[in-house]
Structure 1
Amino acid sequence: MFHVMRNSPFYGTSDLIDRFMTSLRTLFPLGVLNRVSAPAYDDGSIDAYVEWQVAETVVRLELDVKLGVLRPDGVRDAFVTPGSVPVVISPFLAPATQEALARAGWSYWDPTGNILIVSSHPPLAVQRTGATRDPDRAATDPRPLKSLKGETTSEVMVGLLANRGATSLRDFARDRRLPVSSVSRVISLLRYENLLTPTGGGPIVLRDRRLCAERWTEDYGFASTFSPRRYFSLGGRESVIDRLRRSDVDYAVTGVSAGQAWFAEKGSPGRLAPSEIWIYTNDLEAVERAADLAPDQRQGDVLVAHSEFLNREHSFSWDGVSYVTPWRIVGDLLSTRGRSAALGADLLDDLVTGDSDAQR
């Protein structure tokens, strides 16, 4: 691993340089000497430079990493030093930008396969054509998705937050059993708001899970997104969860009760007493019967939301009760106010800083 002298606050510079070096090593057939040195630095006017040897020719490539979108009108003239080739590398370079770079004296590369390396002294020329449209920015302005409020969007966000590694859009959609189009729209909005790490058409990587969760809950909410029905429990609110525990209906508890259960399972109970019971189910009538509930839209303290994600999202069980995945609990609590939101913030801290067992 090497120290990045510029752009260091942004993850992705070293990754792009590594991928550029790997790409160089594949440009000539086996049997042709093709060697790339480890990156090095000089006075900080460039991001890095590498020595590239092809057969008997050795050139010094001076790398200028552009993590953001480089537009044609943003291209400046290259400063060419004798024996060196100035190279812009970026997650994606549009055809018009490539033309502007070439006119200004730059060589260039992006991970989609666009490459131009031209050296006069010593003579060397390589050119390949890759993607003409940015795979990472399918739609950025205007945005097809205006907020992160929707039910399907919540599934995408829960899945992204729970996924600690990197994944492709299609693999993620397949694993979560979600429409590719729905996942793509959410990814486009997150990318537009700079919440994803640029990967040049590679995997989906969140910059910061905490920021993503907080941004999601600016739009999302249990009540505003799922419009739950309110009920009064004929046997008392305390009996609701016990009745569900003994039933065979599909349900999952969320909200304060779920946050309490998460910490109780970890040996830290008693943070906040719930004033309401929040439940997801795919069968409202079955939950009504099992928990002995009567509709009460004005003062009911048992909220039951119809949802279709129960068979797609992992849940956890504590003391025989089913609870939604912890990242959904975070979303449901952070979108509230007061002490319940504080409980959500505590759970968010636990998931972000905790070990892998907390990522369900």
Structure 2
Amino acid sequence: MTTAAALTSEAEILCIALGELNKRLPTAWDARTQRAITPGRFRGDAVVILTGPRNQQGRLYAEVRRSLVTKDLDPLVAGINLAIADTAPSSNSTLPRPLVVARYLAPPLRAWLAERNVPYADATGNVRISLDEPALFLRDVGAQKDPWRGPGRPRGNLTGPSAARIVRALADYEPPYTVPQLMKLAGTPSGNTYRAVEFIEEQGFLTRSADGRVQEVQWRALLERWSQDFGFAKSGAAATFLAPRGLPDLMQRLAKLKSTKTTGRYAVTASLATPKWEAYAPAKNAMIYAERVQDIVDALNLRAVDAGANVLITSARADAVFERTQELDGVTIVAPSQAVVDLLTAPGRGAEQARALLDWMEKNESAWRR
């Protein structure tokens, strides 16, 4: 692979990306470039000609960038499409397609482009090309992390207690607000907050004004992204127990814990919490965050088991799970923004339940967002 120091110009990026594309094309297919000399508004980087086995040709108008973030994509693709419309011939010949080329396209960028059926290619081999004439569909996966990311503190994930508090605050509190105001809402240090906001903005999940104020949060996409780094199943090893009299009895016992205050904080999450907002299916097990696991176990008279468990309890390493909790029949449950992430990482039908809850949250923002 070309070294990071060498791969800096857009011409090099285009050359390497098309080389990766040619490696993946079917036999007798070929990709080559010509400089953009067509009249009209398009003054892009190149026109890529894809030639099929019977000399059929398809054209792609390529824009090359050294780096991209999600918020760049909409104006970039719109500009290429405008150029395509402006230079379209009067005949019924097939119009060119846009092609986004970069040194590296992160998964959120590739997902954005794929959802809109926009062809792309990067210098690591991430490729997706779709043409109607000549007929071609090509998709392959290259690097999953930017091999050219420079030194410095990594910002490529949303792990850790501070990230949990920041994501939850962004989801739970409707903007606008400044980053210092977000720090107060989340209860997080300045450096952690600014780094997380920068990363989340780069991914296209929030929009800021010219003065840095958070203007809009794509909370559903942000929570789905956060589930890659956090969730009940990822918060630590969950201990498994049996509630001998079933989940209804367990909920009654949990309701009585509220007044004792001898067991530390707890919060029920996932399926057992969702009837507060959107009943999807009867819960088959209980998932509980606890500050002091053994105290909760003793108070609920649970039995430790290796098989046949219907209760899972994990220690709350990120105390964000206790932020903005609610009540269901006297039982403390997590906020919907936490429950949905735990469902996204739960086994079985957790993902289906998560989608149902996300749909409810979209229709009822005023019921849970502040």
The TM-score bracket by the shorter chain reads 0.5 to 0.7
- For residue 304 of structure 2, what is the aligned residue in structure 1? 295
Contact 1:282 1:310 survives alignment (8 Å): no
Counterparts in 2 of 1:176 and 1:243: CA distance versus 1, 3 Å: same
Counterparts in 2 of 1:204 and 1:214: CA distance versus 1, 3 Å: same
- For residue 256 of structure 1, what is the aligned residue in structure 2? 271
Tell me which amino acid in the other structure corresponds to 1:261: K
- For residue 246 of structure 1, what is the aligned residue in structure 2? 256
Deviation of the 1:183 alpha carbon: 2.3
- For residue 342 of structure 2, what is the aligned residue in structure 1? 332
Deviation of the 1:297 alpha carbon: 4.7
Counterparts in 2 of 1:294 and 1:216: CA distance versus 1, 3 Å: same
What is the SS of the residue equivalent to 1:328?
helix
Matches of 1:348 and 1:141, distance apart in 2: 36
The answer to whether residue 303 in structure 2 is matched with residue 277 in structure 1 is no
Over aligned residues, Cα RMSD in angstroms?
Answer: 2.9
Matches of 1:324 and 1:255, distance apart in 2: 8
Tell me which amino acid in the other structure corresponds to 1:345: R
Please show how residues 124-163 of structure 1 align to structure 2 within 5 Å: 144-163=154-173
2:180 to 163, 170, 194: 170
Please show how residues 162-201 of structure 1 align to structure 2 within 5 Å: 162-201=172-211
What is the SS of the residue equivalent to 1:212?
helix
Counterparts in 2 of 1:169 and 1:298: CA distance versus 1, 3 Å: farther
- For residue 286 of structure 1, what is the aligned residue in structure 2? 295
The answer to whether residue 236 in structure 2 is matched with residue 226 in structure 1 is yes
- For residue 82 of structure 1, what is the aligned residue in structure 2? none
Matches of 2:186 and 2:368, distance apart in 1: 19
Contact 2:271 2:353 survives alignment (8 Å): yes
What is the SS of the residue equivalent to 1:246?
helix
Contact 1:230 1:295 survives alignment (8 Å): yes
What is the identity percentage for the equivalent residue pairs of Structure 1 and Structure 2? 24
Deviation of the 1:234 alpha carbon: 4.2
List per-residue Cα deviations over 1:71-130 (Å, max 9, x = no partner).
xxxxxxxxxxxxxxxxxxxxxxxxxxxxxxxxxxxxxxxxxxxxxxxxxxxxxxxxxxxx
Matches of 1:280 and 1:351, distance apart in 2: 22
Matches of 1:167 and 1:141, distance apart in 2: 31
Deviation of the 1:291 alpha carbon: 1.0
Tell me which amino acid in the other structure corresponds to 2:298: R
The answer to whether residue 332 in structure 2 is matched with residue 317 in structure 1 is no
Matches of 2:237 and 2:180, distance apart in 1: 30
More displaced stretch, 143-152 vs 252-261: 143-152
Matches of 1:312 and 1:342, distance apart in 2: 24
Matches of 1:147 and 1:172, distance apart in 2: 19
Deviation of the 1:141 alpha carbon: 5.7
Structure with higher Rg: it is: 1
Deviation of the 1:180 alpha carbon: 2.6
What is the SS of the residue equivalent to 2:281?
coil
- Structure 1 residue runs without a partner (length 5+): 1-43, 46-66, 70-139, 264-268
List per-residue Cα deviations over 1:198-256 (Å, max 9, x = no partner).
42342224442222122222332211123322222244444222111111342111010
- For residue 209 of structure 1, what is the aligned residue in structure 2? 219
List per-residue Cα deviations over 1:156-197 (Å, max 9, x = no partner).
211111111222222212222222333233222212323221
- For residue 91 of structure 1, what is the aligned residue in structure 2? none
What is the SS of the residue equivalent to 1:252?
strand
Counterparts in 2 of 1:293 and 1:152: CA distance versus 1, 3 Å: farther
What is the SS of the residue equivalent to 1:218?
coil
Deviation of the 1:155 alpha carbon: 2.2
Deviation of the 1:337 alpha carbon: 5.0
Contact 1:259 1:344 survives alignment (8 Å): no
Contact 1:228 1:303 survives alignment (8 Å): yes
List per-residue Cα deviations over 1:277-309 (Å, max 9, x = no partner).
011121212211111123335553311122252
Matches of 2:188 and 2:341, distance apart in 1: 19
Matches of 2:203 and 2:320, distance apart in 1: 29
Deviation of the 1:326 alpha carbon: 0.8
Contact 2:242 2:309 survives alignment (8 Å): yes
Tell me which amino acid in the other structure corresponds to 2:243: S
Tell me which amino acid in the other structure corresponds to 1:293: L
What is the SS of the residue equivalent to 1:327?
helix
Matches of 2:213 and 2:322, distance apart in 1: 22
More displaced stretch, 273-282 vs 288-297: 288-297
Count of aligned pairs: 220
What is the SS of the residue equivalent to 1:273?
coil
Contact 2:293 2:313 survives alignment (8 Å): yes
